[in-house]
Amino acid sequence: MNGRILAVELVNSMWYDHLGKRSEDRLDRPDRLGRFLSDWSVSVSPDERGIESLKTLRALLREMLDRTTAGEPVADDQLARLNAYMAGSPRTPDLVRSGDGYELAYTPAAADWEAFLAEAALSFADLLADRRIGRVKICRNSVCKWVFYDETKNGRRQWCSSDTCGNVARVRRHRDKH
């Protein structure tokens, strides 16, 4: 799977460096927010309350990931909260051609901020529903917290990047031995 996943990118908008020294909420930075929204073809500009709802959704997704990455099912109240985001904006199923087959596309009834929140929630719901959630991992470097979709064949990827976090771990192992 080579697509970008909105839910994953939303969670990563709360950014931490790999050394546990710096963090930054990129939804608070107008330039970063602007890029994020244009990446996802969002044409409405959110007000402060809109950003707050997006942050609440982001926190919910992170909580759910804490469970799924520990091999636990998500809680009923988490499901209810996720469903509430999807219920906030109705969608119509559209059957469209895809290659030599078909796929269902869920078109939002309105192109407003609620529709974007619903889309982000839906992208997480999709991962749970078709069992791809096990491929969504949190970097093993606990201070890094970066979330990624493991596309490797064996599904054993542990680090966000072997150059940063993987390397920090290698250096640490090396140091412990001497």
Stretch that binds Zn ion, among 69-77, 82-90, 92-100, 131-139 (CB under 5 A): 131-139
Is the C-alpha dihedral spanning 169, 25, 147, 42 positive or negative?
negative
* Both structure tokens of 169: 């771990």
Stretch that binds Zn ion, among 4-12, 89-97, 161-169, 170-178 (CB under 5 A): 161-169
Residue 131 beta carbon to Zn ion: minimum distance, rounded to whole angstroms: 25
CA of residue 80 relative to chain centroid, distance: 18
Q: In the set 54, 146, 147, 149, which binds Zn ion (CB under 5 A)?
A: 146
Q: In the set 57, 121, 144, 147, which binds Zn ion (CB under 5 A)?
A: 144
Separation between Cα atoms, residue 178 and residue 174, nearest integer Å: 7
Of 116 and 159, which has the nearer Cβ to Zn ion? Answer: 159
3-state secondary structure of 15: strand
- Element containing residue 98 per DSSP (H, E): strand 91-98
Q: In the set 139, 149, 156, 171, which binds Zn ion (CB under 5 A)?
A: 139
Report which residue type is found at 17: D
* Both structure tokens of 44: 């409405």
Q: In the set 58, 141, 147, 149, which binds Zn ion (CB under 5 A)?
A: 141
**Interface residues toward Zn ion, by CB under 5 A:** 18, 139, 141, 144, 146, 160, 165
